[in-house]
Structure formats: C-alpha cells, structure tokens
Amino acid sequence: MWSPGPQDNSSSSESEDAGEDGGQSAKSFLEVKVLKDGERIDQYYKVLDLIGEGRSGKVHEVVDVNKPDEKLAIKIQPKFDELGGNSPERELARLYKEMLICNRILPPHENVVQMKDFVVGKDKVYIVQELCVKKIDLFSFFGGAHETSARRVFKQLVSAVHLFHQYGVVHNDLQPHNVLFADTQFSTCRIIDFGLSIYKPAWAKKVHSNFKPYDWFKAEDLEGATDMAASSRYDIRALGKFLHAMMAGKHIPIIYSDMSFTMHNPDHYKPRKQLFCTAAFDLLFTIGPPPFGPELDDELPTIEEIRKHPWLVQGHLSRQHKIFEEEFTQLPEDFTVLEVLLKDKSTRPLRVIRDDLSNHYIITGELHRTNSTIGVMEGVDAKTKSFKKALRLLSKVDVTLMSAREARLEALRIYNELVITLRILPSYRNIVHISEVLLTEDYAMVVRELCGTQTLMEFFPVAKNHSARNIFKQLADAVQFLHRYGVVLVDLKPHHVAFMDAGFFSCKIIDMSSAVYNWELAECTHDFFQPGRFITPEVTKMLGPGNPEDDVRALGRILHAMMSGAWESNTGTRTLAPARPGFHKDALNLLSLIGPPPLGPELLQKTLSINEVCDHLWISPVLKPR
C-alpha cells in the first residue's frame, strides 16, 4: 500500500527565505487535485482530439477551461489495470510513483516532458502534461537522421538519462514512441511515460529540493535487492538501439547476432557509413545492439562514460553559447544582452532600462566599497520613496585602460556572478537576496536587500566565544549550502560578509564576485538550472573548477581573526596569539584543524570538509545525558 506522503501546510506565497535548507518552497511542486462527488474532469479541461492510446490508457489534446489559449495533453488512466496484470492496489502505487518521479524526485529538464497537473477521480487518474507535436516521435525521426541531427537528438537523450540515474531513477521503458518532439524540425525531444520506472534512493547521487523519500514511500517500496548497475543497463541498451536506428535510418524491432530473424537482406539494416563519422561508429560498437555492440550487459559503459564519448563532446560548446554566440561577442560592449543570455523562469528578473537610473531608484548614500571597482550604494524606489535597497554597480571596463581580451574576461566574470546568484542558487537565510537586476549598455545594477554597514572587520575586535560561535556557524552553514549546489566562493573575505543588525547577531554573505560553479561538487539543483545551458567553456577555463577546500581554509582564517581580535590579510604564517581569554577549548581544536598555518594544517596537508566543520563540537555541541 502506498503512502500519501507528508501533508503540505505551506502558504501560497513564496518567501525570500525558503527555509533552513535553502531549498524551494512547496509552491514549486504540483498539488494533487481530487475530484469531489459530482465533479467531472471536463469542468477543468476540454477535450479537443485523441492523440493516441495504449496499454495504460488514452492521451487527448485538451485546453484548460480557464486558459483556453494553452493546449495541453492529458493522459487518462484507470485506477485498476484493465488487462489484469496489476491488482488495484499495485496499479495505484504505480501511478503514485510516476507522479512523484515527474513532480518531486526529478528536477525539470528540457528533454523531459513537464507535468502540469495531476487529478484523481473516482475511477480514473488524469495526468496533464505539456503538449508535444502530435504523431511525431523517434519513429518519425529515424528515416531523416544524419550526422548532425542524430548527434543533437542523441545528446539530448543521454543528458536526460544521465539526470535520471543521478537522482536514482531508471526509466526502464525507453522506446521510440516514448520520445516525442517539441517541434516539427526535430530540434528538441521530450521523454515521456515513467509508468514502469524504477526508483531507489540508495542509487541517487543527488537529491532535488531536499526530497525525503521515506516521507513519501513505505520502506518496502524503496529497499530490495534490485541492482542499480543491472537496472541502469535497461536504459543504456535502449540508447544503443536508438543510436543504431538513427544510423541505419530505420527502426529494427528485434535483432539477433546473425540478424537472420529480422530480415533476408542484413545490409538493408546496417548503419550508413556515408552519413556517419568513425566516432559515431565507435560509440555504436560500444553500446549498440549485437552484432554491432557487446553481447553481455556487463560490457556496457555507464551513462557517465557515454556522456564523455568523443562523438558527443567533440567541438564542445554549451548549448547556450552556440545559440547566443553573437550576444556573448557583444557582451563586453553592451550589458543589455545579459537579458537574453540569462533569460529563464526565474523569480528574480533582469530588466533593461533606456532612461536614467534616477527614474527607478534614488541614491541616498554609499554603504561600503567591496573592492576598487565595485561600489555598493543605498537607494529607495523612485516611485514609492520607500523600501530601502542596496544597489551594487557592475560596470563594463574602459577599453582605453584595458585590452580587449581583459575587457571580455571581466564581462564574462560578471556574467558568471549573475548566473550563480540568479540561476544556480535558491534563496538562503545567510546569503543576500537579490530583488532584480537593471541593465544598461554600460552597467548592470544589482538591486538587493539592505544589510548594515558593519562587516566582519568590525566584529573581530569584539568577538567572544558565544558570539563568535553564532556567527561562525551561520557562515559554515552557508558555505555548506553553497557546496551542496556546486558553488565555491574561492575568495571569502571579511568585507564579503555584512551584518543585519548593530548587535552582530545575524550576518549575510553579500559578494559572489569570485565564486565558481563545480558541477562535480553539486548534490542539489535549483529548478530550471542546467549547467550546459549557462556555464560556457570560456568561463570554465577562465575561473577553473573551484576547490571547496579554499572555502574551508577561508573559514579557518576568519575563525583565527575572531579568536585573535584582528584580521591578517597575508595568508602566510600567523604571528598573533591563537586565542583570547574566554574561548572554549573546542574552538581551539577547530582552529587546529582548519586554521592558517602554523596554527592549522599546512597548504599541502588535508583539512576538514565543510560537512565535518558543521558537525564539529564547537559549532554543534552534543548535550551530555544527566
């Protein structure tokens, strides 16, 4: 018997701080609707046409009666298996799992069909999804596939399957009719139908929005002897069949090693050498069905290895960089192109302004200067004369003072900072919240919540054990949160942290100018963020991968400053006393594990991970039983 999941008592509005874990509020998820007695589905959705039908039910084209301009697809499934393969209870459990996989377990992906609504009636379940092009699936694509189009579509399929496996899901039913297209040009595909998918949290390397599987499933549904490696090969085998069909130009239902079952003329089904390069054939020999690929499943590569195959990565540029190459070229001269480069389903928009900034915000003073080129000012809304905000100016460089290459790199650095703050990270209590970004040709004005003028520099001289532990815990928790989303600050300094009050009780990180994204570090993803869409190769090469140990060592230097009473900008040997009277011995112990040398580990020695820092006794003391 499946569990209905935890009750959602969240309000309908989404706050700037989405909770302690920094994940999104429940607003980002669909709520299951239940038809009351006397209610019918046609009171909500009007059927326009039958798209198709299969073993599990029928699919119709519909419109929302409240939004008649938006066409959708609705899959209507009975609560019981009409063919008798599943008991009513098992069929309900299957439908429930499909809903959770699409709506909570997996984050959004452009190559996975998006669920719009989930409605439960007396005898049927209605799954409402985005509408793809009718009667266009992989069967339609195979005949016209060539080197470029096949690589494009196959990369999308591999990207989606990689996402499934990262989050502990095996699709388990990848067939040509379960891959649809969003357009008639076959440029973007969508995988559908997770009715037979397998989900095991033990397989997951990442978790979406802090999903807790045991809140939603019973233990017996999640545990068992099913092997991830064996199960994931179902998807790998399916990808191999897709690749063969693309290269052959037609779908082959069944292939035996001698190919005698499917045809009298085997050459009719062989891949077309005149259309595909040797790298494509190498991948086919790696994952294709026999006789082209391996006979044994154990010889198949993982989805990670497939992603790195030369046929898929040759001449690699991010999808965003390919499509918007002209905008990236214009970026050093015109910051308004950032609106195009960063456009997405974000709640923190970018807005191009053609008039004077004073028509939008009135500058009332200067707060502080984070470095020699970036100022932070205080301002108020020009219309309401209220709602004080901090305004941070990110301006393009003067080409007369800097080379064209340096100007381009600085523009890309600003682009990277906005990607991290607007697209990668959800809201978090100890990271400054950005309201909007105003764009002109010459600058980007980041409008954010107003913090105080005091930074860690003013806190160090007055820090004591209790206050230092409170602030250090806030910073360590924030760094842990950042690392979970793959962000490394790289260069955390005292002036990057501002206080919200005069009593030094609450602080926020206010500067991400040196931060980088490390996809291998990321355990969580924010909705609608896809690394390949925003992280360009040039940015990656310029900034490097980002070492999370840099942030831990920065925390060690901050801890040392709290205990000594002063910050030392030089990262070499420290000469000040390691502690002032009143600091607990556990603070000294933590300093010895992450502090600057010689008080802490030398640069080539291992330091603690951020998780170990957050679990340290000084930060999270264990209460002893009486």
pLDDT digits (tens, 9 = 90+) for 57-116: 789 999 999 888 889 999 998 877 655 566 677 777 888 888 899 888 999 999 999 989
CATH of residue 191: 1.10.510.10
Residue 605 half-sphere exposure toward CB, CA atoms < 13 A: 13
Q: Which of 214-218, 318-322, 463-467 has the lowest mean pLDDT?
A: 318-322
Nearest residue to 555 via CA among 502, 498, 490:
490
- CA quadruple 409, 410, 412, 414: dihedral, nearest 10: 170
Tell me how far apart the alpha carbons of residues 309 and 307 are, in angstroms, rounded to a whole number. Answer: 6
Shared domain check, 556 and 445 = no
Shared domain check, 466 and 435 = no
Would residue 9 count as lying in a domain? no
Burial of 211 (0-12, 13-18, 19+ CB in 10 A): buried
Shared domain check, 502 and 374 = no
Amino acid at residue number 152: R
Task: Tell me which of 107, 130, 153 is where a domain ends.
Answer: 130
CATH of residue 49: 3.30.200.20
Task: Tell me which of 403, 424, 449 is where a domain ends.
Answer: 449
Task: Tell me which of 101, 130, 159 is where a domain ends.
Answer: 130
Would residue 394 count as lying in a domain? yes
Residue 618 phi, psi (nearest 5): -65, -35
| Residue indicated by tokens 């990270």 | 425
Shared domain check, 497 and 555 = yes
Shared domain check, 218 and 311 = yes
- Give the chain's length: 626
Cis (ω within 30 of 0) for the bond into 625? no
Tell me how far apart the alpha carbons of residues 374 and 352 are, in angstroms, rounded to a whole number. Answer: 20
Give the model's confidence band at 626: pLDDT under 50 very low, under 70 low, under 90 confident, else very high.
very low
Tell me how far apart the alpha carbons of residues 25 and 37 are, in angstroms, rounded to a whole number. Answer: 31
β-strands 361-369, 375-381 pairing: antiparallel
Would residue 382 count as lying in a domain? yes
Shared domain check, 279 and 156 = yes
Shared domain check, 160 and 232 = yes
- CA quadruple 190, 210, 424, 198: dihedral, nearest 10: -20
**Residue 447: pLDDT over 70:** yes
* Structure tokens that stand for 145 in this block: 């596939």
| H/E run at residue 369 | strand 361-369
Would residue 5 count as lying in a domain? no
The whole-model pTM stands at 0.56
Would residue 577 count as lying in a domain? yes
Tens digits of residue pLDDT in 241-285: 999 999 999 887 765 444 444 444 555 678 888 788 888 899 999
Tens digits of residue pLDDT in 111-150: 999 989 988 888 888 999 999 988 899 999 999 888 878 8
75: annotated binding-site residue? yes
Q: What is the DSSP letter of 14?
A: P
Shared domain check, 146 and 268 = yes
- For the chain, the domain total comes to 4
Would residue 45 count as lying in a domain? yes
Shared domain check, 287 and 142 = yes
Shared domain check, 234 and 200 = yes
Shared domain check, 540 and 397 = no
Shared domain check, 424 and 381 = yes
Residue 216 half-sphere exposure toward CB, CA atoms < 13 A: 18
Burial of 195 (0-12, 13-18, 19+ CB in 10 A): buried
* Structure tokens that stand for 435 in this block: 């309201």
β-strands 169-170, 189-191 pairing: unpaired
Q: What is the DSSP letter of 30?
A: P
Residue span of the structural domain in which 438 resides: 336-449
Nearest residue to 159 via CA among 323, 289, 303:
303
Amino acid at residue number 517: Y
Would residue 582 count as lying in a domain? yes
Would residue 7 count as lying in a domain? no
